[in-house]
Amino acid sequence: MADSRCSATRNPFTHTETPAVSVAIEDLSKSFGKLEVLKHVSFQVEPGEIFVLMGPSGSGKSVLLKHIVGLELPSGGRVTVDGRDAAAAETREQIRLALVFQAGALFNSMTVYNNLALYLREHRVADEAGIREKVMRALQILSLEAAAEKYPSELSGGMKKRVAIARALVMEPQLMLYDEPTSELDPVMAATISEIIATLKDQYHVTTIVVSHDRDLALNIADRVGILMGGQLVFLGTRDELRASADPRVVDFLNPKIDLANPRFKQLET
């Protein structure tokens, strides 16, 4: 996998190039009532890199991701995409960003083909022939041509994830976000999804942010990794720095030991 970061995103359909975008999280805080989910988180994602945000369940990773796409508003601090406020509606008009949801969030009443065509039709990107060409190309990239006329309920978990990625791809995104792309998948399918993410980034130089607690994914495809714990960023660095980290929280997160003599859930009780 190429590790170099590129400053231009290549369109998968027209092969034209547009500048890759950066993302800046500045002193971001988020509370739901009295529950503080994110506490003064700051980091920067460089144009064209794969940034993997890891952390235990409930650490605030998905909430942070929702701030980047403008689905949540910060309680404090701000999130910018290429210098533009992520919460502003205009940002989504000026920058093409695509989010691959954890459960796919495919439109259940539509076939796979129509799931992919919806964005193109609604934004009148092309005529029906052009839309067909783009959709079939995206399906071909993800090896999903045979599933075009199937409904989401007829697909396996891995296929749903691939369709969700294909749907994101037809938007010709400058920024791709993945929310737990390998969760609920068998190890081989999880590796396949990791390969797809890395390949799309290598071929099209899309700035990519992956929220995951998949250690293999982070250690194999990330340019940089951030680890969130309890709403705070406890690690930020390259994957080599992650491997070398001596921080006990990071070590325990990456290589948790199953300790039957002193189980963690008993410690939580006390």
Partner 1 sequence: MRTLTRVLEGIGSTLQLLVQSLSHVPTLPRQWGRFIEQCYLIGYTTLPIVAILSFFIGSVLALQSGYSMENFGAKQFIGSLVGLSIARELGPVMCAILLAGRVGSAIAAELASMKVYQEIDALETMNIPPARILVLPRLAAVLVMMPVLAIIANLVGWFGGAIVAKYTDFIAIDPPAYFAALRRFMEFKDVLNGLIKAEVFGFAVVLVSCNIGLNTRGGPREIGASVTRAVVTSLILILVLDYFVTKALL
Q: Which residue has the tokens 């691939």?
A: 162
165: nearest Cα among 183, 142, 187 = 142
Judged by beta carbon, residue 99 or residue 210, the one nearer partner 1 is 99
Name which of residues 34 to 93 contact partner 1 (CB under 8 A): 69-71, 92-93
Of the ranges 49-57, 76-84, 99-107, 125-133, which one interacts with partner 1 (CB under 8 A)?
99-107
How far apart are alpha carbons 208 and 199 in whole angstroms?
11
In whole angstroms, how close is the CB of 166 to partner 1 at the nearest point?
13
Place of tokens 């951030």: 226
The answer to the question of residue 98 lying near partner 1 (CB under 8 A) is yes
Q: Using alpha carbons only, what angle is made at residue 239 by residues 233 and 245, rounded to the nearest 5 degrees?
A: 65
Binding to partner 1 by CB under 8 A, coded x per residue (else -) over 116-145, reads --xx--xx----------------------
CB 217 within 8 A of CB 52: yes
For partner 1, which stretch binds (CB under 8 A), given 26-34, 37-45, 75-83, 95-103?
95-103
Least distance (Å) from partner 1 to the CB of residue 91?
Answer: 10
Does 146 engage in binding with partner 1 (CB under 8 A)?
A: no
Nearer to partner 1, 98 or 218 (CB): 98
Q: Per rule CB under 8 A, is residue 176 in the interface with partner 1?
A: no
CA distance 95 to 227: 26
- Per CB under 8 A, which region of 106-114, 135-143, 153-161, 239-247 contacts partner 1? 106-114
Least Å distance between CB 140 and partner 1?
A: 21
Q: Which of 208, 216, 269, 222 minimizes the C-alpha distance to 65? A: 208
What distances in angstroms separate CA 71 from CA 95, 105, 121, 166, 217, one per listed residue?
15, 14, 23, 21, 25
Cα–Cα dist 116/150, whole Å: 12
Query: Using CB under 8 A as the criterion, which residues of the chain lie in contact with partner 1 when the complex forms?
Result: 69-71, 92-93, 97-99, 101, 103, 105-108, 118-119, 122-123, 171
